[in-house]
Copies of this chain bind each other. A is one copy, B any other.
């Protein structure tokens, strides 16, 4: 029973990887760098994009917005005159808890890849499954809010390991929390030693310049293998 389940899961992931490679080929052909942005619900993915994606040093940015339902985040980003495409994962029952390569593929006809330098795919808010499904991205970035506690890297290690950048958000709240930043960073290094991290606040703007610089550089740096 258990072995069968593992085999089915592996089959699903194999199929996903095949479609992810097709997405990646399309992105490469269009010369678009692609970032898969992940976090728990409410960690601040959209706020950090609002802060970063306009007037980005001449880089043309588009956003693919993944949500179970609705288009609240897409509407927020559209007011910044950034081209946004919404993917809802809720066609049938309660909705998928992550984006997969096929959902992204089905949205690509609505994305003008030739006009973009950078496409940010904002995943569904979830610290588990989004890390298991590549969608064709070059890079994975996650946001971890200091309000979520120091233990999160230890409890969701796959997510923290999957990323090449961790944005530690809401640091303006540190004076009001029982959050030990050193302990969080030690936990982070325990599961992903030395991973690049930026301390940021979407609210106050702290660290946002570094985040913008990282995004700009991501359009030119050598990407990771698909």
Contacts and interface: CB of A to CB of B under 8 A. Distances in A.
Of the four ranges (under 10, 10 to 19, 20 to 34, 35 or more), the interface on chain A belongs to 35 or more
Contacts of A131: 94
User: Chain B CB within 10 Å — which of A72, A128, A147, A178 has the most?
Assistant: A128
A127 interface: yes
Contacts of A94: 128-129, 131-132, 158
Interface stretch (A52-60, A77-85, A110-118, A148-156): A148-156
Contact of A41 (B91, B155, B170): B155
Number of copies: 2
A211 to B, nearest CB: 19
A95 interface: yes
Contacts of A221: none
A23 interface: no
A43 to B, nearest CB: 8
A178 B42 CA distance: 13
Interface in A112-157: 124-129, 131-132, 145, 147-149, 151-152, 154-157
A197 interface: no
B128 A2 contact: no
A6 B148 CA distance: 34
A155 B69 contact: yes
A155 B97 contact: no
Interface in A29-78: 40-42, 67-70, 72
A178 B203 contact: yes
Given A67-B155, A72-B155, A125-B156, 14 more contacts: A5-B92, A6-B93, A13-B93, A40-B41, A42-B145, A42-B152, A69-B156, A70-B155, A72-B154, A126-B126, A126-B127, A126-B128, A147-B147, A176-B176
Interface of A: 2, 5-6, 9-10, 13, 40-42, 67-70, 72, 91-97, 124-129, 131-132, 145, 147-149, 151-152, 154-158, 170, 172-173, 176-178, 203
